[in-house]
Each structure stands twice: as C-alpha cells, then as structure tokens.
Amino acid sequence: MGLEMLNDNYKEGSKEPSKKENIPHIYSYQFCPYVERVHLVVAAKEINCETFNIDINSKPEWFFAKNPLGKVPALELDGGKILTESTIIAEYLDEAFEGKRKLQPKDAYEKCKQKIFYENFGSVFSGFYKIYRSKEDLNLLFATIENGLSLLEKELATRGTTFIGGNNDPLMVDYLIWPWLERLPAIISIIKKEKDWQKYLSSNLPLTVKYMQSMLDDSAVKKVAYSDDIHEEYFMFHIRLIRGDNF
C-alpha cells in the first residue's frame, strides 16, 4: 500500500456517493493531519460513521454545494448539517456521542487547560506543511518543529503521566496532537538522514520518545496511523515537486 490509495478519491466530475442513513459522514483527505485528528477520535470512541475521500486538488462540485469553502475535514450530519474545523468536529463527536468512552475530562478547568495545549500545539505545527510546500531551508524548518516539541517535553515533565490525559488511555488532547508526532520519523529520516528517530530524539527529548512509544501502542492510533514508509514516500513525492527531482 502506498500513494496509489489516492486514486480512490472523489474528484471534479465524480458523482456524489449514496450514503448510509442515521450515521455521521466524514469528508477526508488521507494525508492531512487535521483530518487524522477526527479519525483518531472516531476510532477511540468506536463511533459508527462513513468516510469519503476528497481529492483536495480537484474537489467534486457536489462537495462545494454542501460545504461552500470546500474544507476538509468536514462532518455531515442528517439533514445536510455540516461542521468544519478539526478541533470543533472532535469536540462535537465527544459531546454528541457517548461511544466507547469520553475523551474530555469532566473538570472544566482541566478541560480548558488541555484545550489550550492542543490549540497552541496546532499553531506551532501549522508550519509543518512548509517542508513540502515551500523552498525554505529544511534545517531551519526542523528547528521550529524541535522548538514545538520542547513544549511537549515540558508538559510531559510537569504532568508526570504516561499520556497528557493521564495514565490509563490517551484523551482528546493526545489524539489532537498525535498526527504531527506520527510524521516525525519520516521527517527526521529525510532532513536529518537518521532512520532511527528514537536515537535522534532521545538525548534532548526523552519523555517525548517514551510518550510516542506509548501512543504507538494505543489501539486507535494503531488503527488510523500510516507507516513511517508511507509518510516518507508522501513527503518525498511532494518535496521533489517543489524542490526539484534531484533532492
């Protein structure tokens, strides 16, 4: 399995698929970290829903008709109700569906603390895509990423728990930051030419390494995550498009 999975996407001119009733529908793009946040929440809660992959470079007309800005992820509920923004969709799914478990703490203060963490973490990593969308120096881009990781290392040190959400299972906050961590091994391999991400990160970010190992053992992450090889293939394909074939 590799990038050929992109061939299954709905494109300009595709007919709108028929949909099962009474379950939510997710409009997705396979390699988008924001979309992955929603899939992780769905997997952790074991919510029954349907996913449709959209070609983000050639979106089908029917998708714009229901979601004028054409954003993914989008969640469609009965009656054509649409929600966008990954954190808002994730919070909605946790509130509206009991599912296997609740992913936000009951305590309002702790819930907001976690929210501040994942919102800030999302901002720190919003430059991630520059690796394959800009010609900026890769080592400088990686320095920004390492700076963001130091925030995580500090948070893990302060909390002293296996996950940010506690010792038992990951909570919303863990799933909402995971997609960027999942892509780190591929990025370290490409930029730092180091295949062993644990070795690379362990001297400065030992708690982050342990955290990532625990997350990789979680059943929702196992179900949703792509392998390091697929991420590397995806990054390299796009890096070569923008930075040249000889990269």
The binder of its own copies chosen from 11, 19, 20, 81 (CB under 8 A): 81
Query: In this chain, which stretch among 4-12, 104-112, 155-163, 188-196 interacts with its own copies, using CB under 8 A?
Result: 104-112
User: Which residue has tokens 């991420």?
Assistant: 231
User: Binders of its own copies among 60-79, rule CB under 8 A?
Assistant: 77
The binder of its own copies chosen from 46, 61, 98, 119 (CB under 8 A): 119
* CA dihedral sign of residues 110, 113, 117, 119: positive
Contact between 123 and its own copies by CB under 8 A: the answer reads: no
Instruction: Please identify, using beta-carbon distances, which residue of 73 and 185 lies nearer to its own copies.
Output: 73
Instruction: Please identify, using beta-carbon distances, which residue of 55 and 85 lies nearer to its own copies.
Output: 85
Active-site position among 10, 28, 32, 189: 32
Contact between 23 and its own copies by CB under 8 A: the answer reads: no
Could you tell me whether strands 50-53 and 25-28 are parallel, antiparallel, or unpaired per DSSP bridges?
parallel
User: Binders of its own copies among 187-246, rule CB under 8 A?
Assistant: none
Q: Which two tokens stand for residue 184?
A: 């780190």
Cβ neighbour number for residue 12 with a 10 Å cutoff: 12
112 is catalytic: no
Instruction: Please identify, using beta-carbon distances, which residue of 71 and 238 lies nearer to its own copies.
Output: 71
Q: How many residues bind its own copies (CB under 8 A)?
A: 19
97 phi, psi to nearest 5 deg: -120, 125
Q: Contact 197/188 with Cβ under 8 angstroms?
A: yes
Instruction: Please identify, using beta-carbon distances, which residue of 13 and 79 lies nearer to its own copies.
Output: 79
Residue-wise over 74-90: b if at least 16 C-beta within 10 A, else e?
bbbeeeeeebbebbebb
Q: Contact 214/198 with Cβ under 8 angstroms?
A: no
Query: What is the DSSP code string of 3-62?
Result: GGGGGGSB-TTPPPPP--SSS-EEEE-TT-HHHHHHHHHHHHHT---EEEEB-TTS--HH
Contact between 157 and its own copies by CB under 8 A: the answer reads: no
Q: How far apart are CA 147 and CA 128, in angstroms?
A: 12
Least distance between its own copies and beta carbon 186 (Å):
30
Least distance between its own copies and beta carbon 110 (Å):
10
Least distance between its own copies and beta carbon 149 (Å):
18
Residues that bind its own copies (CB under 8 A): 77, 81, 83-85, 88-89, 91-92, 95-96, 108-109, 111-113, 115-116, 119
Q: Which residues are the active-site residues?
A: 32
